[in-house]
Structure 1
């Protein structure tokens, strides 16, 4: 059976794919929402400009620590009890975290509320990748992940919309804090809707073998981790590291850079700087990502998926290194660079997912993709925590340069090992 040009796996119906795409749209909106809303919230809560980068890094590090510790476990649970239950848990906890986040009275509370979001995010992000791998046949895996990447790109329009809301609420007579609380509350409502869609619309348990589901959790974890001995799985983990790190650096520090530039150099209020400087440039990156998602989806089905990863890593390396040349982030030429950045980061995202979906053993797909998520979480941790320090200690462009170097390392590594990668579904080079 086919839907939206994709051959579906046995037992999957178009309605299941439709429900998944709605959930992926909401999940993707959450992926960048904190990066857009948080700079304004930190300023509203009274944190000094000099401390905001460090706090951003600290909060990001706390979240990624939770993801690293729990994503593999959530993947194992998904193999045992099904994707639907784990996905619903993730969306509902993320929603709860957003609702309470702007009510934090101090930094420890802010960290605690961020951990609630992190726990939900660990389940939500892992299932977003696992379900599309379940639902698509191998020959259309690239297009399926390209479609998911396109939906994720549409979801990326949600954070800029949320970013505009505080300014709108302030213009209606809200205080800055009330405006932040209302905006985060709207963000939380998305997760409630997503939870209902997942529970009603996703397929029942898929790809869970009775024998494997009865194994001890420790055994499932060990065998899921051992899958990295396959060079294709190992490369996908490396690609997950850079692709998620790319997205994290762009999301966390491009908006912060622009808000600080507007408040320090142009005399803007935080909400004004977000609305007039950050949002248009974020939308430029999103537009590039829309183009990249479609293009890489087709490319990944036409060439070896390891080659697709190589191309994406090389492009991203060049783009992120180029950010080191930026002194004024409001310069007109930076718009073009951000558009290409969008193409590069979504290409790395789509190609890495297509590769891990191809290489992951069917019976342990949840666990393997869970560890794929862990690799991505480590990339985000390096991007946010390390990037926060680099941002404050050296320059706002330093986190981007770091990931330019890391992308080039994955590019070189992929050239070395790609001849050893075999597609387990066809016994041909992968």
Structure 2
């Protein structure tokens, strides 16, 4: 295979932050900064909707938060089923139609659904319909792979860290805005409208600065109907690097000829099933497979930092407080612990972003899964939400979670094949919502019938499974090298 380099006479790659982030030659600074706005605004809207739902159920439908577990569970199941159904479709559309048009449709649909939520007369069917519309829009926002499209592979680790930091800021900004609106005596309906309309304006505004048209439009003209070649797959995986560098990054186990032959056969089928076959077969690349694993775990842990912490903290509230005041105190304690974790996640993401590009990926995966598992199991010994020991446990948990968040972005966006990046991103989001489903549904059942700490134990065992898969992938690479 030949080394892939940019032409001296052609457009040059752009660099930011003293060369720490490098962009593809056809990507401008405006394109990149608008993509950062996307990750910030996306997380802001996700956290806002989930934060407002218990309040809506209480004020509009008369359901107290502590009695809303079943309704929240039903809404979550509907949300996840919708996302699983539409995530692959959105990924395929983003590859075939273009990133920006699909994103704009998702923004408009999401904003309309949020505005309508506050005025739903009943949970079924009106609020449920709005929630389905929101789920379609939300999975559209999450699936578009801007990081993979814009940033050169050699700096995708640091770029992933920046995206995680922006997403964490979006989550904290949401809590601040929602609290401010509600303390200013805004009704829940008005709050939904303000959030929805603000998102619509901001969302459509930053899309004006994103790369327009079909991604890699010139390349698509050249090989849209042509057979895939091994050099194109190499370029998709690791552009601007030669074969020797690829081998140093543990790529030497890949059977390029076999992958090209298989993908060429499937590519002849213009169907939804063919697209999913391609995304599934891409998992034969161990790093794409690890991207699916980190997406599965990296999104599911958000349930621990919201619902699970809230329910666990509730049992330590003073018995003399009435229902509403007790729920408020538990919420403050849970948000404090969640804030500590997110702060550690933001700091940890910086280190993981640099290390993914410098050290063994298997060692990093082993470290992050181990820290997450240990933090989850240590929650069995947490005395109460206000204990310094509990703060330390949440710090350990956050140090592992920051790796999961960063890895979920890094692996899929770096190693997904260029022509099929939307397909692979769509399937990765299916794994994400499945992780949320297991943590919320199974964890909720165990929390009700076994222990308030059960969701943390469940996620600890899920992290242990990730640890086993890391050992397996390391063994697979080691065995391949021995054969060679």
TM-score, normalised with respect to structure 1:
0.87
Distance of 1:420 and 1:89 partners within structure 2: 42
1:143-154 counterparts in 2 under 5 A?
A: 143-154=158-169
Query: What are the Cα deviations for residues 390-411 of structure 1, in whole angstroms up to 9, with x where unaligned?
Result: 2322333211210111011101
Question: Shift in Å at residue 42 of structure 1?
Answer: 2.9
Distance of 1:38 and 1:403 partners within structure 2: 24
1:290 equivalent in structure 2 = 346
1:181 aligns with 2:189: yes
Does the C-alpha gap of structure 1 residues 273 and 65 become closer, same or farther in structure 2, counting only changes over 3 Å?
same
Distance of 1:421 and 1:161 partners within structure 2: 46
Question: Shift in Å at residue 223 of structure 1?
Answer: 1.8
Say which of 79, 85, 103 aligns to 2:101: 85
Query: What are the Cα deviations for residues 7-60 of structure 1, in whole angstroms up to 9, with x where unaligned?
Result: 111311111011111111000112322333333333333225553222222211
Q: Bigger relative contact order, structure 1 or 2, given CA contacts below 8 A and separation 6+? A: 1
Bigger Rg over Cα:
2
Distance of 1:194 and 1:121 partners within structure 2: 15
Question: Shift in Å at residue 216 of structure 1?
Answer: 2.3
Say which of 83, 88, 96 aligns to 1:67: 83
CA contact (8 A) 1:360 1:368 kept: yes
Question: Shift in Å at residue 261 of structure 1?
Answer: 5.8
1:202 equivalent in structure 2 = 210
1:31 aligns with 2:43: no
Distance of 1:220 and 1:12 partners within structure 2: 27
Unaligned runs of 5+ in 2: 1-13, 226-266
Distance of 2:307 and 2:52 partners within structure 1: 10
Alignment partner of 2:356: what SS? helix
Kindly tell me the number of residue pairs found equivalent between the two proteins.
414
Question: Shift in Å at residue 288 of structure 1?
Answer: 1.4
Alignment partner of 2:68: what SS? helix
CA contact (8 A) 1:25 1:155 kept: yes
Distance of 2:320 and 2:477 partners within structure 1: 51
Does the C-alpha gap of structure 1 residues 383 and 111 become closer, same or farther in structure 2, counting only changes over 3 Å?
farther
Distance of 1:390 and 1:101 partners within structure 2: 30
1:216 aligns with 2:229: no
Question: Shift in Å at residue 167 of structure 1?
Answer: 4.4
Question: Shift in Å at residue 190 of structure 1?
Answer: 3.8
Using the TM superposition, name which of 266-275 and 405-414 deviates more.
266-275
Question: Shift in Å at residue 197 of structure 1?
Answer: 2.8
2:411 equivalent in structure 1 = 355
Does the C-alpha gap of structure 1 residues 296 and 262 become closer, same or farther in structure 2, counting only changes over 3 Å?
same
Say which of 96, 109, 126 aligns to 2:143: 126
Distance of 1:186 and 1:418 partners within structure 2: 50
2:381 equivalent in structure 1 = 325
Does the C-alpha gap of structure 1 residues 103 and 396 become closer, same or farther in structure 2, counting only changes over 3 Å?
farther
Query: What are the Cα deviations for residues 372-407 of structure 1, in whole angstroms up to 9, with x where unaligned?
Result: 111111101112222222232233321121011101
TM-score, normalised with respect to structure 2:
0.78
Does the C-alpha gap of structure 1 residues 347 and 24 become closer, same or farther in structure 2, counting only changes over 3 Å?
same
CA contact (8 A) 1:142 1:300 kept: yes
Structure with the largest fraction of helix = 1
Using the TM superposition, name which of 116-125 and 214-223 deviates more.
214-223
Say which of 380, 392, 414 aligns to 2:436: 380
1:192 aligns with 2:200: yes
Does the C-alpha gap of structure 1 residues 74 and 153 become closer, same or farther in structure 2, counting only changes over 3 Å?
same
Does the C-alpha gap of structure 1 residues 327 and 40 become closer, same or farther in structure 2, counting only changes over 3 Å?
farther
How large is the Cα RMSD of the aligned pairs? Answer: 2.7
Say which of 127, 131, 134 aligns to 1:117: 134
Distance of 2:410 and 2:47 partners within structure 1: 22
